[in-house]
Amino acid sequence: MKKNAKGGPVVELSERSREVFRQIVETYVETGEPVGSRTLSRRLSNSLSPATIRNVMADLEEAGLLFAPHTSAGRMPTEAGMRLFVNGLLEIGQLGGNEQKRIEELCRAAGKSREQALEEAISMLSGLARCAGLVLAPKTQSQLRHIEFVLLNPGRALVVIVTADGQVENRVVEVPRDLPPSALVEATNFLNARLTGRTLNEARDALLAELEKDRSQLNELTGKVVEAGLATWAGGDKGGSLIVRGQSHLLEDVTAVTDLERIRVLFDALETKEQLVRLLDLTNNAEGIQIFIGAENELFSHSGCSMIVAPYHNSQEQIIGAIGVIGPTRINYARIIPLVDYTSKVIGRLIG
């Protein structure tokens, strides 16, 4: 079978097959249940008999677009079928003026810091879409004014950064469990003596080179604190920090123990976040909405989930991050795609 640019099947359907298939997918998205021929005959505008519909469904199943979860059950779309639907048959809805206004108000209601705005936006998007929300935040590009480490408990410290334009942001980092408080003071003094007037990336490159060249200025534990703080903030090779909110929404669609296990696997993956950051980084090479369905990506291969994500831009039209949602493969694409798209544009205007 031929493949299209996104790896899905290229299937030529008759007008009747297209309508039957579209109704099956839309009904499945609404109910989450297999769709039978009698249900379809009531929904279809043209008067097709259940027998004719069953023949069309059999052809669609042979084409790899439908499957029957049980011998006597109706049909459900496969992941290939969902991809075909999203690419070619989906009618995307439009956000009304009131919805657009609400999104803008909720995003603007956050505090002044970039991270507060992003957290507010992703929590809002998660609630509206009833999915887990995620955002890849851009690296801090402003020059730095001050950095400080505060011990929270053994093995964890808070890094507080103040930029030259007055933004205050913080992260929790892992540190050696036997770290004495004096090491945090020493790390704070070491960094503040060297970072003024530099961006985070500039400070990170210069300081790591200095640490490598002459570690005699710091003991080993303090050096680890400096490296942990800088790596967390600069994002290493991963481009930025990841915020995930609303994971509990993924549990709303759980109907069996096997579903729960699949979602647990996804929760573990979200916890590590590494694959997700790589996935979001793909948006740097593509404009507009990106849709990943099920096993099309390794992250979702065992969880039966999909991700809808869009990049957001700064005032120079450069992609600086991405925002989106994760939900079951039967999420309401027609509603959520414009939600994600509009939110990404609002965020770009607010923090870009």
Report pLDDT digits (tens) over 65-106. Answer: 999 887 767 899 998 999 999 988 888 878 888 888 888 887
Say if residue 348's pLDDT is above 50. yes
Say if residue 238's pLDDT is above 50. no
- Coil, strand or helix: which one is 44? coil
Average pLDDT of span 122-150:
79
Q: Given this model, what pLDDT does residue 84 score? A: 92
Residues 154 and 218 in one domain: yes
Q: Of the ranges 143-147, 236-240, 309-313, 317-321, which is most confident?
A: 309-313
- Give the span between the Cα atoms of 293 and 282, in whole angstroms: 15
Say if residue 49's pLDDT is above 70. yes
Residues 30 and 57 in one domain: yes
Q: Given this model, what pLDDT does residue 350 score? A: 81
- pTM, two decimal places: 0.66
Say if residue 223's pLDDT is above 60. no
- The lowest-confidence range among 144-153, 221-230, 273-282 is 221-230
Residues 253 and 314 in one domain: yes
Percent of the chain whose predicted confidence (pLDDT) is above 90: 12
Q: Given this model, what pLDDT does residue 339 score? A: 92
Q: Which residues pair with 160 in a beta bridge?
A: 148, 170
For position 78, which CATH number holds? 1.10.10.10
Q: Given this model, what pLDDT does residue 7 score? A: 44
- Give the span between the Cα atoms of 100 and 349, in whole angstroms: 14
**Domains in the chain: how many in total?**
3
Q: Which residues pair with 67 in a beta bridge?
A: 76
Residues 283 and 199 in one domain: no
1 in a structural domain: no
Residues 311 and 190 in one domain: no
Residue where a domain terminates, one of 234, 253, 273: 234
Q: Given this model, what pLDDT does residue 140 score? A: 55
For position 176, which CATH number holds? 3.30.390.10
Enclosing domain of residue 35: 15-89
- Give the span between the Cα atoms of 126 and 120, in whole angstroms: 10
Residues 20 and 157 in one domain: no
230 in a structural domain: yes
Residues 35 and 65 in one domain: yes
pLDDT band at 194 (very low <50, low <70, confident <90, very high): confident
- Give the span between the Cα atoms of 206 and 113, in whole angstroms: 26
pLDDT band at 38 (very low <50, low <70, confident <90, very high): confident
Q: Given this model, what pLDDT does residue 76 score? A: 92
Instruction: Count Cα atoms within 13 angstroms, Cβ side, for 275.
Output: 14
- The lowest-confidence range among 100-104, 217-221, 263-267 is 217-221
Q: Of the ranges 3-12, 223-232, 240-249, which is most confident?
A: 240-249
284 in a structural domain: yes
Q: Given this model, what pLDDT does residue 61 score? A: 92
pLDDT band at 340 (very low <50, low <70, confident <90, very high): very high
- Give the span between the Cα atoms of 292 and 156, in whole angstroms: 35
- Give the span between the Cα atoms of 70 and 160, in whole angstroms: 55
pLDDT band at 208 (very low <50, low <70, confident <90, very high): low
What token pair was written down for 290?
């990106």
Residue 178 φ then ψ, to 5° = -95, 20
Report pLDDT digits (tens) over 11-27. Answer: 678 888 998 999 999 99
Q: Given this model, what pLDDT does residue 207 score? A: 64
Please state the separation of Cα 193 from the chain's center in Å.
37
- The residue written with tokens 């939600």 in the block is 339
Say if residue 122's pLDDT is above 70. yes
- The total of other beta-carbon atoms located within 10 Å of residue 134's CB is 27
Sequence-distant (6+) residues with CB within 8 A of 78 are: 64, 65, 66, 67
- Give the span between the Cα atoms of 139 and 239, in whole angstroms: 7
Report pLDDT digits (tens) over 297-329. Answer: 666 665 678 888 888 887 777 777 788 888 888
Comparing CA positions, the residue from 309, 316, 314, 318 lying closest to residue 343 is 309
